Amino acid sequence: MSTITREEAYALGGACGLQFEELKARATQKREAAWGRTVTYSRKVFVPLTNLCRDKCGYCTFAKEPGTPGAGYLTPEQVLAIVRRGEALGCKEALFSLGEKPELLHPQAKEMLATLGYATTIDYVIAMCELVLRKSALVPHVNAGTLDQSEVRRVKAVAGSAGIMLETVSRRLIGRGQAHFACPDKVPVQRLRTLARAGEASLPMTTGILIGIGETWVERVDSLMTIAALHEQYGHIQEVIVQNFRAKSGTLMAHCPEPDMDDMLRTTAVARLLLPSTISLQAPPNLNESFEQYLLAGINDFGGISPATADHINPERAWPAVDEIAHRSSKLGMQLVERLTAYPAFLHPRQVARFFGPKPLVALASLARNDGHARHQAHPGLQSKMEVLV
Ligand code: SF4
């Protein structure tokens, strides 16, 4: 449950000096009471199944227009090549990240899917997850955007977890000139419906907020409160990401100011105090040089780190090496531990029948140690070697 009220959170938007220090201390205390001095990460490969998309987010460099170099879908062979490389490097998660429903806007996307033998992008996602489960030890995590009820159920049958960033509840940002103009899948109610459908289906979910895209502090707090309410209703939110907007050249928001470190820390600390303590709180370590400071504002997770693939959403930001993250965490008294795509609480024997389909559960069980974290495997050279495969 929340440790502070909505009104208190609203008032913390400008916290500085002693108030800022107290805020971070409260967040850290709440983190330690629930998660101890463990900070987790998931060793994964990123599978950018398609970079075509029907949305036009003002900050995105991932999506490509049909006909431009590199635009299209990965083939099953390319998916398997990424997954096998990740497997060899000790990865345990295959994160499918992709544009939203490109076939509804681009006839070329429909044709490419037909050539692959599928009618829709989500059909192809499901088939590729089945392929990964069949041909590798990795467990799929699906970030496929907005989904209807039957799509959520199909994802649950082939994935250990799924994700959709809420980003914001602000409808202002779908207006002309705003970050989410011309983005039918970024209308907040559509994303909230997907999160609620996942709750109804007991599909373990990742969600989060993207800060610095034009939202106000009040809207940021409202987004976090909305996520907390969804979790209180369904109990299915595994983790919440607080992600900072990074301005990229060539985008509509190339010249917009980025959130500074204090803004990130203030938001992260307030998120920790607003969200139920059982929700894992994550901030990405590759989007800020001083990422270990997030540990001083209540996070307990650094998210997906890949020794094999780039961050396709922020390709200019390389992942720090796992041993670097471990070293910098340990200097703050935190131990870095590898987790699976599903968190230990969801893998508890009393919960598994509710949260997982039979195939993902078998895959997760073979990778989990007794406490639900990832089983250790030795991979020479893995810790510091960053190889970009695609
Ligand atoms: S951020 Fe995602 S939804 Fe938005 S344009 Fe890029 S790929 Fe599409």
| Mutational pocket test of ligand 1: of 51, 53, 61, 246, the residue with most ligand atoms within 8 Å of the beta carbon | 53
Q: Which CATH class is domain 6-367?
A: alpha beta
Give the tens place of pLDDT for each residue, 37-48. 999 999 999 999
Q: How many CB atoms neighbour CB 159 within 10 A?
A: 31
Give the tens place of pLDDT for each residue, 144-172. 999 999 999 999 999 999 999 999 999 99
User: Is 80 exceeded by the pLDDT of residue 389?
Assistant: no
Q: Is the CB of residue 162 less than 8 Å from the CB of residue 122?
A: no
| Mutational pocket test of ligand 1: of 49, 97, 100, the residue with most ligand atoms within 8 Å of the beta carbon | 100
Instruction: Give the list of residues 6+ apart from residue 49 with CB closer than 8 angstroms, or none.
Output: 73, 74, 79, 96, 97, 98, 121, 124, 125, 128
Domain extent listing, the chain: 6-367
- Determine phi and psi for 220, rounding to 5 degrees: -65, -45
| Mutational pocket test of ligand 1: of 46, 49, 55, the residue with most ligand atoms within 8 Å of the beta carbon | 55
Give the tens place of pLDDT for each residue, 69-105. 999 999 999 999 999 999 999 999 999 999 999 999 9
Which residues of the chain form beta strands (DSSP E)?
38-48, 93-97, 139-143, 161-163, 205-211, 237-244, 280-282, 301-305, 335-339
User: Is 60 exceeded by the pLDDT of residue 358?
Assistant: yes
Averaged pLDDT, 328-353: 97
Q: Which atom of ligand 1 is nearest to the CA of 185?
A: 3
The residue contributing the CA closest to ligand 1 atom 4 is 57
How far is Cα 171 from Cα 189, in angstroms, rounded to an integer? 9
Kindly indicate the confidence band of residue 320, based on its pLDDT and cuts at 50, 70 and 90.
confident
Task: Specify the 3-state DSSP secondary structure of 317.
Answer: coil
Q: What is the pLDDT of residue 384?
A: 34
Averaged pLDDT, 211-233: 98
Q: What is the pLDDT of residue 377?
A: 65
Q: What is the pLDDT of residue 317?
A: 72
- Which is nearest to 339 in space by CA: 384, 308, 376? 376
Report the separation in Å between the CA atom of 97 and the middle of ligand 1, taken as the mean of its atom positions.
10
Residue 100 near ligand 1, beta carbon < 6 Å: yes
Kindly indicate the confidence band of residue 321, based on its pLDDT and cuts at 50, 70 and 90.
confident
Q: What is the pLDDT of residue 312?
A: 63
Structure token pair of residue 200: 């109804």
- Determine phi and psi for 41, rounding to 5 degrees: -150, 165
Average pLDDT, the chain: 94
The residue contributing the CA closest to ligand 1 atom 2 is 99
The residue contributing the CA closest to ligand 1 atom 7 is 99
How far is Cα 120 from Cα 104, in angstroms, rounded to an integer? 9
Averaged pLDDT, 171-196: 97
Q: Which atom of ligand 1 is nearest to the CA of 51?
A: 7
Residue 55 near ligand 1, beta carbon < 6 Å: yes
User: Is 60 exceeded by the pLDDT of residue 388?
Assistant: no
Report the separation in Å between the CA atom of 100 and the middle of ligand 1, taken as the mean of its atom positions.
7
Helices vs. strands in the chain: H and E counts, helices first: 12, 9
Residue bearing tokens 């202002």: 172
Instruction: Give the list of residues 6+ apart from residue 369 with CB closer than 8 angstroms, or none.
Output: 375, 376
Q: What is the pLDDT of residue 369?
A: 95
Report the separation in Å between the CA atom of 99 and the middle of ligand 1, taken as the mean of its atom positions.
6
Q: What is the pLDDT of residue 2?
A: 81
| Mutational pocket test of ligand 1: of 46, 52, 57, 251, the residue with most ligand atoms within 8 Å of the beta carbon | 57
Residue 57 near ligand 1, beta carbon < 6 Å: yes
Averaged pLDDT, 320-340: 95
How far is Cα 110 from Cα 114, in angstroms, rounded to an integer? 6
- pTM (two decimals): 0.94
